[in-house]
Every structure is written in C-alpha cells, then in structure tokens.
Amino acid sequence: MESVQSDNLFKIIKLNVIEFARSSQGGPTERTFCIKCRYLKSDRQIKKKRTRIRKNSNLMITDEMIRIDKTLEYIVKLQDIHFLLMFIAMNIESPTEESASSYIPGQSDNLQEEFLHKQ
C-alpha cells in the first residue's frame, strides 16, 4: 500500500492486488494489478481505516473499478473499506454458472460471533 496526495481535496491509496482464480483449464491462476483508491481528505472514517491497512490484509473495497488505458491498473472512488477475517476471505468463492455467492457487509459481526461460539 502506498499513500499519495493527489490534490487539495483528495488523497489516493495505491494497492497492489493479487487475484487468485481458476483458469478455464481448471488450474489456479494468479494475476497482479494495481488499484488506485481515491477518497476525500475530509473523510475521517476512511482515513482511520487506511491507517489499519497492513501488508497481506484481506479487504473488500465497495465501488466500481474503472480500468485505466490497456494496463492492469484500475481506479476506484473509495466510499468504504471492510476488513475481512482470514477464515471469511479464504471461504469466499467466485461465482460460477451454477451458483453465485456474495459477501454482504454488515453480516461480518454475526459471522464473527458464530466463529467464536464454535471454538
């Protein structure tokens, strides 16, 4: 993660992301790309969460990713950051033709409680 000042109103966080997925041949693939997340400097909630981001964090960024040129670089107008517990991040599946799964923000507290009660 790299924090960059873009102008007087906005700040940008650069995230290097590794996407793990299955290839069409069935084997695992790994793709690395850069996401630039832009947010208002005055947004204290984002600023506070930004300071908690560490290397190898499991994040869910909610907003539309816009591809820049033909590079593997995207920009996001950041509205919120959600930290995922490791066991949730490892169990999120990518959608398939037969079924689709999704993670709904706000359910994380219930999942954390269920996980703690099972131990």
CATH of the domain at 57: 2.40.50
3-38 tens-digit pLDDT: 555 567 888 878 777 766 666 777 777 777 777 778
pLDDT value, residue 59: 67
Above 70 in pLDDT, residue 62? no
Write out the H or E segment, with its range, that includes residue 46. Answer: helix 44-52
Q: Looking at residues 92-119, what average pLDDT do you find? A: 43
Distances (CA, A) of 60 to 8, 91, 95: 26, 14, 16
Q: What is the pTM of this model?
A: 0.45
Domain that holds residue 38: 2-118
Above 50 in pLDDT, residue 115? no
Q: Which candidate, 40, 118, 111, 117, places its Cα nearest to that of 80?
A: 40
Q: What is the DSSP letter of 22?
A: E
Q: Looking at residues 37-42, what average pLDDT do you find? A: 82
What is the number of domains present in the chain? 1
